[in-house]
Amino acid sequence: MSSSKRPSRDPEAGASEYIIDAEGVVVRFGEKTAVDGVDVKVLPGEIYGLLGPNGAGKTTTIRVLTTLQTPTAGRISVGGLPMPSENKGIREKIGIVQQMISLDKDISVRENIICHGYFQKVPKADIMRRMDSISSAMGLTPFLDSTVVRLSGGWQRKTSIACALMHDPEILFLDEPTAGLDTQSRHMLWDMIRQLNKAGTTIFLTTHYIEEAESLCNRVAILNGGRMAALGSPRELCDGIGRFAVEHNNEDHTRSYRYFSDWDGAKAFAAGFGDDESVVLRKTSLEDVFLELTGRKVTADFVKVVRI
Ligand SMILES: Nc1ncnc2c1ncn2[C@@H]1O[C@H](COP(=O)(O)OP(=O)(O)O)[C@@H](O)[C@H]1O
Ligand SMILES: [Mg+2]
């Protein structure tokens, strides 16, 4: 599906080890600050996820990193090339799959992919060969002659990804790749993203699905209100608030959560509730981290969270 050309670096561009290296990104729309001083540092070969609730600034961030949105402030390089002077070169190194499907729904999958190949200036002689190999690797071959409108959401999304891969990008940007899809399609796309990554493509994705970030990403950045709230592997983030969770009902029917770094401490705390059947002792999940950082009431133990 992918060549072995990556990662290629421009030695002139400096010594950054990051394939995406952005510092202090700010985006303002009039009075509204959508992105408020965000750093993004992605290593070659990673699957890096930007996780955040609706309105957190994920799409705006991905639009900046893909040259589609000019930031109000920030120093950014992608694929070793600085923005904005090398935007054209950056676009050649990246594939973009936007949240809103940007296919022509009235023509076939084949025609969409070919058009995209021309659009990306893939040499004419290579277009059919690339289309065949990408379609075959993605299981799209049986659908090539279907009009897009007849495909399910999952296969439409796969078609968008096939289009974005026609020029063999080093980095693939996916904005909410599985939003609105059923569970089966979601898992199909996750497998495909993993395969692409194994073949050498760096993946930057945004999602508001915690499970997606937990299952796919080597590192997850949690974005909230335009700011980075935390960064780490799913495991590191869970360890940051405490590896073990105790939850229990309160008298007013709300639920409380406490996190502990050691099992004995969690067990002792849970034991303090006697035979209260609402008490659950379990491992901390990324969902706990996400909710602690983006909404759920902060507890005393919260200060242990890895903050950046
Ligand atoms: N073009 C725009 N003009 C004004 N406000 C915008 C524009 N684009 C996004 N916003 C606002 O910026 C915030 C972040 O939006 P967005 O990046 O789309 O968030 P997300 O993708 O995390 O849901 C939201 O409050 C949104 O309404
Ligand atoms: Mg969005």
DSSP track, 2-39: --S-PPP--GGG-----SEEEEEEEEEETTEEEEEEEE
**Confidence class of residue 296 from pLDDT cuts 50, 70 and 90?**
low
Residues 6+ apart with CB under 8 A from 5: 168, 170
CA of 34 relative to ligand 1 center, distance in Å:
6
Strand partners for 223: 228
**Confidence class of residue 304 from pLDDT cuts 50, 70 and 90?**
very low
What mean pLDDT is reported for the chain? 90
Model-level pTM? 0.88
CA of 90 relative to ligand 1 center, distance in Å:
24
Residue 40 has pLDDT above 90, yes or no: yes
Strand partners for 210: none
Which pLDDT value is given to residue 299? 41
Q: Is 91 in the pocket of ligand 1 (CB under 6 A)?
A: no
Q: Is 56 in the pocket of ligand 1 (CB under 6 A)?
A: yes
* Tokens 């009075």 sit on residue: 31
**Confidence class of residue 290 from pLDDT cuts 50, 70 and 90?**
confident
**Confidence class of residue 15 from pLDDT cuts 50, 70 and 90?**
low
> CATH 3.40.50.300 region(s) of the chain?
11-232
Q: In what order do the strands lie in the sheet with 81-82?
A: 32-42, 20-29, 73-78, 81-82
Which pLDDT value is given to residue 13? 47
Which pLDDT value is given to residue 297? 47
Report whether 289 contacts 240 (CB < 8 A): yes
> Between 251 and 75, where is the model more confident?
75
DSSP 140: -
Q: What whole-number distance in Å separates Cα of residue 230 and Cα of residue 224?
A: 9
Please give the structure tokens belonging to residue 141.
């071959």
> pLDDT per residue over 92-131, tens digit each?
999 999 988 789 999 999 999 999 999 999 999 899 999 9
CA of 233 relative to ligand 1 center, distance in Å:
26
Task: State the CB neighbour count (10 A cutoff) for residue 229.
Answer: 22
Which residue, 294, 33, 51, is CA-closest to 176? 51
Q: What is the mean pLDDT of residues 162-185?
A: 93
> pLDDT per residue over 244-261, tens digit each?
999 999 989 889 999 999
Nearest CA to ligand 1 atom 1: 29
Q: In what order do the strands lie in the sheet with 280-283?
A: 255-260, 244-249, 280-283
Please tell me the number of the ligand nearest to residue 34's CA: 1
> pLDDT per residue over 212-248, tens digit each?
999 999 999 999 999 999 999 999 999 999 999 999 9
**Confidence class of residue 4 from pLDDT cuts 50, 70 and 90?**
very low
Q: What whole-number distance in Å separates Cα of residue 144 and Cα of residue 138?
A: 11
Q: Is 70 in the pocket of ligand 1 (CB under 6 A)?
A: no
DSSP 292: H
- Calculate what percentage of the chain has a pLDDT beyond 70: 91
SS3 176: coil
C-alpha to C-alpha distances, 103 to 32, 115, 206, 257, 261, nearest whole angstrom:
30, 10, 20, 45, 48
Residue 9 has pLDDT above 80, yes or no: no
CA of 98 relative to ligand 2 center, distance in Å:
9
Q: Is 5 in the pocket of ligand 1 (CB under 6 A)?
A: no
> Between 293 and 117, where is the model more confident?
117
The pick from 32, 64, 65 for probing ligand 1's pocket by mutation, whose C-beta has the most ligand atoms within 8 angstroms, reads: 32
Report whether 122 contacts 162 (CB < 8 A): no
Which pLDDT value is given to residue 302? 36
Q: What whole-number distance in Å separates Cα of residue 230 and Cα of residue 252?
A: 31
Q: Is 60 in the pocket of ligand 1 (CB under 6 A)?
A: yes
C-alpha torsion angle, residues 134, 136, 139, 145 (rounded to 10) = 90
Select the CATH number that applies to the domain covering 11-232 from these four: 3.90.930.12, 3.40.630.10, 3.40.50.300, 3.20.20.70. Answer: 3.40.50.300
